[in-house]
Amino acid sequence: MSLVKLMLDCKIIKNKKRGGDLRMTKKKVAALKYDIEKDNAPKVVAAGSGTIGEKIIEIAKENNIPLYSDKQLVEQLIKLELGSTIPPNLYQVVAEILVYIYSLEEEVKK
């Protein structure tokens, strides 16, 4: 498989209502695409939070794109411009996630 699409998501606490325990969460999401025949590194192809983040996840599920949760990574990825490649300091962690996803896909094929 030469093309990998990956969704990374996390939930964060947005705020706490005064005097109560009600917490609202806001989902942050980043999507990566990597074509080993064309790209030097994975690219950020979608990012957003709240309603936009939920829509990105919905589209990923409809297209059977694997989801992976990593709060720290998402926080870094959503700061990047859409279409930009991930910086070298993220290569290792993203590579480990891609290996994990490849292994899941191989298990499904068996």
**Residue ranges of the alpha helices (H) in 13-90?**
51-62, 71-77
Q: Give yes or no for residue 34 having a pLDDT over 50.
A: yes
The token pair at 45 is 């192809």
Structural domain boundaries in the chain = 3-109
Amino acid sitting at position 74 = V
pLDDT of residue 6: 58
pTM for this entry: 0.76
Q: pLDDT digits over 49-107, tens only?
A: 888 888 888 888 888 888 888 889 999 999 999 999 999 999 999 999 888 888 877 77
- The correct CATH number of 3-109 out of 1.20.1370.20, 3.40.1690.10, 3.40.50.20, 1.10.357.10 is 3.40.1690.10
- Residue 93: enclosing H or E segment and its boundaries? helix 91-109
pLDDT of residue 100: 85
More confidently predicted of 108 and 17: 108
Q: What is the dihedral of CA 95, 101, 102, 103, to 10 degrees?
A: 110
